[in-house]
Structure 1
């Protein structure tokens, strides 16, 4: 990633989330702390961000909390055609009698809404996915137990992780808040831990993310793209974004 591209991505992330730390960028991009600090100093020099201990903060968030995550209801209204296309592309990968895991989030719910009318077993930690699939007679639906995370309408925590750790899954579909460098990231550590564990129990691993998530970074890096079978995104992704991802995994473009 070129310097100007990297700094533009850091600025976008800072404006979106309120702040970003040196440690986050080093982990996501694999660049040195010196490079990140230099980028932060240069961005602060533009007056668009404020330099703070260990990172930068958006000027517009100077008196606001460091991070504000959109609720699941807000996300449902964003990029609807793209998420629908991604859901349909993911559904084409599913075969009769598969056991699949579908994670939380609006893009994952689009997969549930597009599932073929064949016999399937679906495991999920998403209340949205559960409600979408509950009326379907062809689906054996397994809801993960644990603690309810209201912001994402999902189930997380040690009880949920203990259940996931015992399962054998054919195909796993997980969403992300950001895809930058070689990693996928999310806003919540417990959510990320469960998603990583679900991947570890699956024979095939797919990440679903609309193009607005590419080049973005969130709080917790939960999975390395090199370990995926594919990333599924929409055709609004730029050639540069796709080339960067293809250095690490296969890309399926939803049209």
Structure 2
């Protein structure tokens, strides 16, 4: 790559932190280069995890958090996620029908369920399916749809259509961030699917380690039902949990 291209990309990144959204056309005019050159710049900056792209060539810039991949998330807070998975496993009883969302913490629960029996389970997650591929005593249904590569799970109208024709005793949801009222995710197709999941289960659990409590990295939201339970790890502080308690959310601590 030429020095001038790297300098321009550095200036685009600086602009990203100060000016909010910018279109390809605006950047092309500003730097006096072609639109295709700007698109190559944006592609490189996106691949380096420094910016996020939006539809129409615009940039989600000022303060925007770039969504990590499942593989990256799976390496974070691993001890806390394992503890949460074990705590959630204790809630699952033989004969139940359960729905598992995508996400690394829900995958930790799936790992703990490998020895379960007399269980009916459905999931949208490829990782959960892999965890339970040899669990002969569990009846597993795969909820298909459009593969969302960053979360290694299916989303979209087909997944929603399938779920609307099913019901469950319990759903276990993952989250990029969670407040007493809602789950925060990177994409609206995810939040729409989570709302459908909530509507199809009698009991709703959200599995979220302490780093995700009251954390709102993105702008897509799934509203939670009036009654739901948070399962988090022992690192959660009283200050973090205060708003959840005030809202009447039941809290289970994984120790």
**Distance of aligned partners of 1:170 and 1:80 in 2 relative to their CA distance in 1, 3 Å threshold:** same
The structural deviation recorded for 1:168 is: 1.1
Q: What is the 5 A alignment of 1:39-78?
A: 50=18, 52=20, 64-65=51-52, 66=60, 67-78=65-76
**Distance of aligned partners of 1:159 and 1:105 in 2 relative to their CA distance in 1, 3 Å threshold:** same
| 1:207–1:228 contact (8 Å) kept in structure 2 | no
Alignment partner of 1:186 is 2:192: no
Q: What is the 5 A alignment of 1:1-255?
A: 50=18, 52=20, 64-65=51-52, 66=60, 67-115=65-113, 116-180=115-179, 182-217=181-216, 218-224=218-224, 227-248=226-247, 249-255=249-255
Any idea what SS the aligned residue of 1:251 has?
strand
The structural deviation recorded for 1:183 is: 2.0
Any idea what SS the aligned residue of 1:242 has?
helix
Find the counterpart in structure 2 of residue 46 from structure 1: none
Any idea what SS the aligned residue of 1:190 has?
helix
**In 2, distance between residues paired with 1:113 and 1:202?**
21
- Give structure 2 stretches of 5+ with no counterpart: 1-12, 22-45, 53-59
Task: Using structure 1 for the length normalisation, give the TM-score.
Answer: 0.74
Find the counterpart in structure 2 of residue 10 from structure 1: none
**Distance of aligned partners of 1:156 and 1:105 in 2 relative to their CA distance in 1, 3 Å threshold:** same
Any idea what SS the aligned residue of 1:95 has?
coil
**In 2, distance between residues paired with 1:51 and 1:253?**
41
Task: Using structure 2 for the length normalisation, give the TM-score.
Answer: 0.74
**In 1, distance between residues paired with 2:158 and 2:180?**
32
Q: Deviations over 1:62-118 (max 9, x none)?
A: x83324100000011100000000001111111101110000000000010112522
- Give structure 1 stretches of 5+ with no counterpart: 1-17, 19-48, 54-60
The structural deviation recorded for 1:123 is: 0.3
| 1:185–1:223 contact (8 Å) kept in structure 2 | no
Larger radius of gyration: 2
The structural deviation recorded for 1:243 is: 1.3
**In 1, distance between residues paired with 2:223 and 2:138?**
28
The structural deviation recorded for 1:254 is: 0.4
Any idea what SS the aligned residue of 1:148 has?
strand
What is the aligned length?
199
**In 1, distance between residues paired with 2:155 and 2:133?**
20
**In 1, distance between residues paired with 2:117 and 2:236?**
31
Any idea what SS the aligned residue of 1:113 has?
helix
